[in-house]
Amino acid sequence: MVGLYFDRTNLKELPESIGKMSCLRFLVLNSSQIQTIPRTFKNLHNLEHLVFYNSPETSDIVNIDLPDIFQHLKNLKLFRVHGLFNVYIPPSFVKLENLEELVLEYCFFSPKRSNYTRNLRNSDLDLDDLETITSFICELPDDLDRISSLKKMVLTYSNIRHLPESIINLRSLKEMNFTHSKQIKNIENIFDITSLEILNLSYCKLEIIPKTIGNLTNLKALDLSWNKLKEIPFEIRNCRQLRKISLYRNSYSEQFESWIKYLVELPKLNYLTVGMGYFKLLPKELLDKKDLKIKEI
């Protein structure tokens, strides 16, 4: 057996015997009540995809206890956690030397193992109000850059407040999605990751984009929608690989026309979204740009 899928099981913990399934490559726990992973899990040396998926909107709130055994999962390429609470990231996590995709969605992190939310029901916690659990603010590991193989990072609807400084050393990183991660204070660090090709910063309450956006010379898609931006630095014209930009639902000032014209200098741009009322302010050179589709939202 190379794949195992648990769907809506009432099991509270995985059996110790799972460690005997050394050929297992794919493991998905979907909408299950499993909260404890046995240490025999470390024997799954061939595991490539590991997914914990829960829908807190429709099921009980679940937190999971991840044992400190990640150093044994040498072949893990995708690690996804969706809708779990008190997610504790053990120190060995950064030893996932072949991890390519890290997806953390609707997750609330804890700096230590805790049973705080173990018995909560979905009616006890407003998922739209991150402030209800600010006492459990946690950060990603400081030495996250040890996962040098990482290509994709998704960190959405999280209570993470700071990104580790080492994140700029992730030179294989191609895609980052931080949508609805409104509490991150040092998001400017990602503009030094020159390998990025896809960047989603929608719904992050951003008021300023740093001039270092011009460092992202490999960027192909950029989503800055639903923020509080007044302008975009003219250095964006250095992102000459940019093909798609979403700029709608912001608070652009009267200077909109003075910086939007720099998009004309992006030779590969073929898709642009702007907010209602801004289409008429676009320069003629941009409107006449060949193969460019412009959408007003």
pLDDT tens per residue, the chain (297 residues)? 799 998 888 788 889 999 999 999 999 998 777 878 899 999 999 999 999 988 766 556 667 778 899 999 999 999 999 887 767 788 899 999 999 999 999 877 666 555 444 444 444 444 444 444 433 445 788 999 999 999 999 999 887 888 999 999 999 999 999 999 988 889 999 999 999 999 999 999 999 999 999 999 999 999 999 999 999 999 999 999 999 999 999 999 888 999 999 999 999 999 999 999 899 999 999 999 989 999 999
Quote the pLDDT of residue 147: 97
pLDDT attached to residue 161 = 86
- Cβ contact 202:246 at 8 Å: yes
Element (H, E) at 82: strand 78-82
Q: What pLDDT score was predicted for residue 133?
A: 41
Q: Residue 10's pLDDT is what?
A: 79
Classify residue 36 by its DSSP letter: B
Beta-sheet strand order (sheet of 3-7): 3-7, 26-30, 49-53, 78-82, 101-105, 152-156, 175-177, 198-200, 221-223, 244-246, 271-274, 293-296
The number of residues making up the chain comes to 297
Task: Count other C-beta atoms under 10 Å from residue 54's C-beta.
Answer: 25
Helix (H, G, I), strand (E, B) or coil at 284: helix
The domain covering 212-297 belongs, at the CATH homologous superfamily level, to: Ribonuclease Inhibitor (3.80.10.10)
Nearest in space to 275 (alpha carbons), one of 232, 243, 246: 246
As to burial, measured by CB atoms within 10 angstroms (0-12 exposed, 13-18 middle, 19+ buried), residue 19 is middle
Contact 57, 122 (CB under 8 A): yes
Give backbone dihedrals phi and psi of 165, rounded to 5 degrees, phi first. -60, -30
Those residues with Cβ within 8 angstroms of residue 66's Cβ, 6 or more apart along the chain or in another chain: 37, 87, 88, 89, 90
**Is domain 3-196 given the CATH code 3.80.10.10 in the classification?**
yes
Q: 3-state class of 191 per DSSP?
A: helix
* CA–CA dist 128, 17 (Å, integer): 39
Every domain of the chain with CATH number 3.80.10.10 lies at: 3-196, 212-297
- Report the alpha-carbon distance of residue 148 to residue 154 in Å, rounded: 16
C-alpha angle 293-295-296 in degrees, rounded to nearest 5 = 155
